[in-house]
């Protein structure tokens, strides 16, 4: 899995750098963002329009750096001896409270990611919140049980595939005169289905941050100080 993650990351970087060489970069005036957002993007949240549209290459490289960080932590962690794991909560009351709190946090994270083009939020914040939720669930159920669920649902495979999906979006939907340009409907500002590719990008990038955050936490939890 680590080798696949490394291969996907390196391949994605190579594709993006190759495509970038053939893309004409048009200077942007920040004062024009409110106008062009209404005409060409449709997001009620101008910040979302900037990082998912007008300056999407910046966001893409942030995602690639995050992927490299996940791969680096996983590969380095394999060299460190495992020394423990997080056990499930003993008290039924505490376990119930943690399960309830974890599910609320996860739902909050999903909501934050999906409505990022309408109000403050988005992929990175939503993914981080959701990852925090699964950490709380880990305190209730134990790290091994949670990780078995991650493996059963092939979340790592999906997380790796998302990077390819994002790169394909860059090639086919977010490049002037691209095959699917403008990619998705601009829509009406304030509508859920607006913001061009905001829903796709916020959900996919958010999911990647969620799984990546969990994997980093899991690798560290297996190598915690023995008590």
Q: Is the pTM for the entire model greater than 0.85?
A: no
pLDDT tens by residue, the chain, 227 residues? 555 665 666 676 676 666 655 555 555 556 677 778 888 888 999 999 888 888 888 888 888 888 888 888 888 877 777 777 888 888 899 999 999 999 999 999 999 999 999 999 999 999 999 999 999 999 999 888 888 887 787 887 888 788 888 878 877 765 555 445 555 778 888 888 888 889 989 999 999 999 989 888 888 888 765 44
CB 176 within 8 A of CB 22: no
Q: Tens of pLDDT along 87-120? A: 888 889 999 999 999 999 999 999 999 999 999 9
């Amino acid at each position: 899995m680590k080798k696949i993650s490394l291969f996907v990351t390196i391949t994605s970087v190579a594709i993006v750098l190759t495509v970038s060489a053939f893309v004409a970069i048009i200077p942007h005036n920040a004062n024009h963002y409110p106008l062009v957002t209404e005409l060409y993007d449709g997001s009620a949240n101008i910040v979302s329009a900037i990082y998912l549209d007008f300056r999407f290459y910046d966001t893409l490289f942030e995602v690639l750096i995050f992927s490299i960080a996940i791969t680096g932590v996983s590969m380095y962690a394999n060299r460190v001896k495992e020394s423990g794991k997080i056990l499930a909560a003993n008290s039924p009351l505490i376990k119930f409270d943690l399960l309830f709190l974890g599910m609320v946090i996860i739902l909050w994270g999903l909501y934050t990611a999906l409505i990022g083009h309408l109000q403050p939020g988005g992929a990175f914040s939503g993914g981080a919140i959701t990852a925090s939720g699964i950490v709380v669930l880990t305190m209730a159920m134990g790290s091994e049980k949670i990780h078995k669920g991650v493996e059963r649902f092939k979340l790592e495979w999906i997380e790796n595939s998302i990077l390819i999906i994002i790169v394909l979006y860059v090639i086919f939907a977010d490049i002037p005169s691209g095959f699917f340009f403008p990619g998705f409907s601009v829509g009406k500002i304030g509508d859920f289905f607006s913001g061009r590719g905001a829903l796709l990008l916020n959900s996919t990038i958010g999911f990647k941050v969620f799984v990546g955050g969990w994997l980093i936490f899991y690798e560290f939890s297996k190598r915690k100080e023995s008590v």
